[in-house]
Amino acid sequence: MKQHKMKVRKYTYRVAIPMNIDAESLVQELNIESRLTQKTVKNKIVRVISRLTRTHRNSRYFYHDNHIRICSKELQKILNRDYEKVLNLLKTEGIIENGKDYLPGDRCSKYRLKHKCQYVKYKYKTITIRQKEIESKTKLLDSYFNDKITIKSDDIYPKLIKFYSEIEKQLKTPKQLKVLKNWIGMMLLLIEDIDKNEFWKSRSASNKRYNSSITNISKKFRGYLKYDNQQLIQVDVKSSQVYVLASLLNHQFFKQKGDYSFYRLTKDLIDKKTRKEIMLYMFSSLMFAQFSGKPIGEISPDTKDHEEFKKFRDAPFSEDFYFHIYHLENNSFPSSEERGAIKSGIMYLLFQDLYAHRKNVESVKLFKRIYPFVNRCLERLLSDMGKRNFALFLQRAESYLVLDCIVPEFHRLCPEAPIFTIHDSILTTQKYKDQLYDVMNTVLTERTGIKPGLTVENIKEIDFTQESYVIEMVNRIIKDSKPSRYKELKNSILKNCIEKAEEFISEWNVTSNHISNDKKDMEES
C-alpha cells in the first residue's frame, strides 16, 4: 500500500526577543558545523524564547511571577529532535528556568525567562521555518485575520489622548500614572498591529480559548473595527458560565469519555484519583439520600440523575437566569443594578473558594437556598480541583461548544461569512446576523439539551471620552494601584508599553499637570 508523505511547507513566525539575548552566540555554544543546521536550531531557540517573552499581546496569559505554562507536546512541536539540547542550553546559560508544580501526565510545566531577561525591552523579528503541514483546528478562524480587517485609528487617537488627559487629572500618584500609561501603550500597540496586519492569534493550551488581537483589544475600540468596510455584529450567550455549568451537571457528562465529558475536559487538570473521587461523590446514593430526605435504602441503584440537577437545567436560560432566581426569591423582577449585583455574586459563587467569604455574599446565599445540592457540588468541585482548575474546566467546556461545535457548523452553512470569536461571543458582519443566531441556538440546544439565551448586538463606535467611561477607568486604576493588587500586576507593566504611551502623549503635546513624570519616580513606584 502506498503511503502518503506529509507535506512540508514554509511557515512565517513573528517573534519577540529581549534585546539582551543573542541567539547567534547561544547557537555557537552547541558547536554545530552545518550552517543550515545552525540556522534551524537558532530559529527554534528564538521561538522558545519568544514564547516566554511577555509582550503587549500575551501579557494577560502569564502568572504574576512571570511564569507561563507550556506543555511538553507544544515544545516537542517546536524543538522535535533538538528538544533536550535546546532546553538544557537555555537553562545552563541562565536564560530560562522551570516552575515547581509540574505533575507528569496531569499538568503542564511552568517556565519563565530568568530575571535578567524579564525587565528589558524586546524587539520583533520575522523568521521562516520549514516543517510538516499539520491541519489546525483553528485554521478557519486564522484565515479571517487578513487585510480586510481594519481599524479606524485616525478616529481613535484624538479621543484616546482626550481620554488620557481626563483620567490623568484625577490621579494622585506616580504608580497610578504608570498603570494608566501601561494600558494606553498596550492599546496603541494592539491598534498598530491591526493597522499593519500583524495579527496575533493562538488557541490556549490551558483553557482552550482562541485568543487574538480582537480578544485583547479593549471593548471601547471594537466598534472601530471593520471587516471589508462592514460593521461587525456579535451574538453572545446569556449567563454563559452558569449555562455551561448547568449543561455539565448530568450523569452522562460525568460517565462518558467523549469530547464533551468530565474526563476529556479535565484530563490534564486533575489527577486520576481526584477525578474518580469527584465522580463517585456527584452521583452516590448517599448524596442523593442526603438531599432527598429519603433513607439510603429507598434510593434506587438505577437513579442516574439528581432531581435538583434537573431543576437547575430547567431554569429559563433562554430568558434571563439572573432575573429568574431573583424572581423566585422576591416575586418581582430586579432593577438593572440588582441584576448586576446578582451576576457579580454568581461569579463569586463559581470562582471563589474562600468559604468564610462565600457565606456572606447575598447572591451565594440566594443560590444556596434555591439550589442547595448544586451549591454543595460546586463547593466540592472547587475544593478538589482548586478554583483555577475549576475555572479552566468551565472555560474548556465553553470553548468546545463555541470553537468545535458552533464555528464549523456556521461555516458549513455560510462558507463566505467571516467569523471571529471573543470567548462566549461570535462576531460576523450584519449580513449574516440571523444565520449566526439560528446556528448558535440550534447547536447549543442540541449539544447541551438546554435552550440558550442569546443577545444580538450591533458593535457601534462609542465616544469613550464620556464621563462614565472616564470614571470607570479611574476607579479601575485606583484599584489596580493598591499594594496587594499592584504586586500581582507589576510584572505586566512593560517598558515597551510605557515608552509607546509617552511617545504618543509627547506627539500630542500633553504634559502632566501635577504628577511627577521623572523616570526615577516612575521606576520606583
Rounded CA-CA distance 482/173 in Å is 11
- Residue at 141 is within a domain: no
Contact 58, 485 (CB under 8 A): no
Pair type for strands 122-132 and 149-151:
unpaired
- Residue at 32 is within a domain: yes
- Residue at 508 is within a domain: yes
- Indicate if 21 and 95 belong to the same structural domain: yes
- Indicate if 261 and 360 belong to the same structural domain: yes
In sequence order, the 6+-apart residues with CB closer than 8 A to the CB of 361 are 345, 348, 349
- Indicate if 97 and 190 belong to the same structural domain: no
Between the ranges 67-71, 75-79, 355-359, 405-409, where is the mean pLDDT highest?
405-409
Rounded CA-CA distance 476/488 in Å is 14
Query: With 80 as the cut, is the pLDDT of residue 289 above it?
Result: no
- Mean pLDDT lowest for which of 18-22, 136-140, 307-311? 136-140
Query: With 60 as the cut, is the pLDDT of residue 105 above it?
Result: no
- Indicate if 194 and 244 belong to the same structural domain: no
Dump the DSSP string for 23-75.
Answer: HHHHHHTTT---HHHHHHHHHHHHHHHHHH---TTTGGGS-TTS-EEE-HHHH
What b/e sequence results for 178-195 when a residue is b if at least 16 CB atoms lie within 10 Å of its CB, and e otherwise?
Answer: bbbbbbbbbbbbbbebbe
Query: Where residue 293 falls among pLDDT bands split at 50, 70, 90?
Result: low
pLDDT value for 1? 45
- Indicate if 294 and 387 belong to the same structural domain: yes
Query: Where residue 101 falls among pLDDT bands split at 50, 70, 90?
Result: low
pLDDT value for 106? 46
Instruction: Give mean pLDDT, residues 402-424.
Output: 94
Contact 269, 393 (CB under 8 A): yes
- Residue at 458 is within a domain: no
- Indicate if 384 and 254 belong to the same structural domain: yes
Write down which residue in 377, 398, 419 finishes a domain: 398
* Per-chain mean pLDDT for the chain: 86
- Indicate if 70 and 185 belong to the same structural domain: no
- Indicate if 274 and 393 belong to the same structural domain: yes
Element (H, E) at 477: helix 467-480
The reply to whether the predicted model has a pTM over 0.95 is: no
Give percent of the chain with pLDDT exceeding 70: 88
- Indicate if 245 and 327 belong to the same structural domain: yes
- Residue at 91 is within a domain: yes
Between the ranges 16-25, 254-263, 427-436, where is the mean pLDDT highest?
427-436
Rounded CA-CA distance 143/202 in Å is 12
Write down which residue in 103, 134, 165 finishes a domain: 134
Query: Where residue 497 falls among pLDDT bands split at 50, 70, 90?
Result: very high
Write down which residue in 356, 380, 398 finishes a domain: 398
Query: With 70 as the cut, is the pLDDT of residue 156 above it?
Result: yes
Contact 8, 104 (CB under 8 A): no
Instruction: Give mean pLDDT, residues 445-459.
Output: 95
Query: With 70 as the cut, is the pLDDT of residue 297 above it?
Result: no
Number of Cβ within a 10 Å radius of residue 279: 15
pLDDT value for 448? 94
Query: With 50 as the cut, is the pLDDT of residue 525 above it?
Result: no
- Indicate if 122 and 160 belong to the same structural domain: no
- Residue at 139 is within a domain: no
- Indicate if 351 and 312 belong to the same structural domain: yes
Domain hosting residue 98, numbered range: 10-134
**Higher-scoring residue by pLDDT: 522, 285:** 285
- List, for residues 360-389, the tens digit of each pLDDT value: 778 888 888 898 888 888 888 888 998 889
- List, for residues 327-372, the tens digit of each pLDDT value: 888 888 888 888 888 888 888 778 776 666 677 778 888 888 898 8
- Indicate if 96 and 24 belong to the same structural domain: yes
**Higher-scoring residue by pLDDT: 497, 267:** 497
For residue 94, the 8-state DSSP code is T
Contact 65, 112 (CB under 8 A): yes
Query: Where residue 481 falls among pLDDT bands split at 50, 70, 90?
Result: very high
**Which residue's entry shows cell 442526603?**
290
Between the ranges 137-141, 343-347, 438-442, where is the mean pLDDT highest?
438-442
- Residue at 431 is within a domain: no
Number of separate domains in the chain: 3
